[in-house]
Amino acid sequence: MKVSIAQFKSELGNVDENFSTAARLIEAAQGSDVILLPELWSTGYYPTPVETFADIDGVKTKEFLCAAAKRFSVNIIGGSVIVESGGKIFNRCHVVNRRGQIVAAYDKTHLFSFAGEDKVFNAGDKIATVELDGVRCGVAICYDLRFPEFIRKIALAGAEIIFIPAAWSLKRLTPRQILTKARAIENQAFVVFANSSGKSEVVNPCGEVIAESERGEELLTAQINLDERTEVIATMNLLADRNLSVD
């Protein structure tokens, strides 16, 4: 599976410009099987008041992603955007298949209180996995990465690749690089991490970085060989060997 990360730093509050940038990078990634956008790519992280910038029920975002996916026959993990739904505000990721159909949506579960996310967003309460081109994929958003029990739930749901859109500060680059490797190793899954601030990466189930970006706008592409995961699990099946009998 060929995956591409559309890495770019959105202009805060400039929705039209950010949609244009996303469109340009998606077009440049033609030939990829899956394209991943960063967290809050349409608005930047994050303008206030968020209600002013919320996409009502995600209509604008879904129309854009569905049209692009169908035009280029590519699966899109739509990063995340500010969505108002039912009078509540969510940090939401839409997943679209090659036919331009919405096949999953995920609301960020762990809200980053240090940046006040818990004051403006409502937390999601469900994991999201979806099959794309026969591959079971999971979605998490940024801060979710720090919670191993949450990522483990995605792995237990069968995810072979975990896609993570983020707006992760490069001041905390070292712990993030450790966490992506740890989540990949302990769940024997590929981790594809798209960061608006740069240093996006693709990590294999052995914790090896197979592709890494620089810090500016970039289209990072990597070929994921799922046979590698099969070989790792055949040698040491961590999920099967879990012992849950200990209190």
Active-site residues: which are they? 39, 108, 142
Instruction: Give the residue carrying structure tokens 């559309």.
Output: 6
Per-residue three-class SS string for 97-129 = CCCCCEEEEEECCCCCHHHCHHHHCCCCCCCEE
How far apart (Å, rounded) are the C-alpha atoms in residues 120 and 123? 10
Helix 148-156 vs helix 173-187: angle between axes, to the nearest 10 degrees?
30
How far apart (Å, rounded) are the C-alpha atoms in residues 126 and 149? 13
Nearest of 8, 106, 88 to residue 50 by alpha carbon: 88
Tell me which amino acid residue 163 is. F
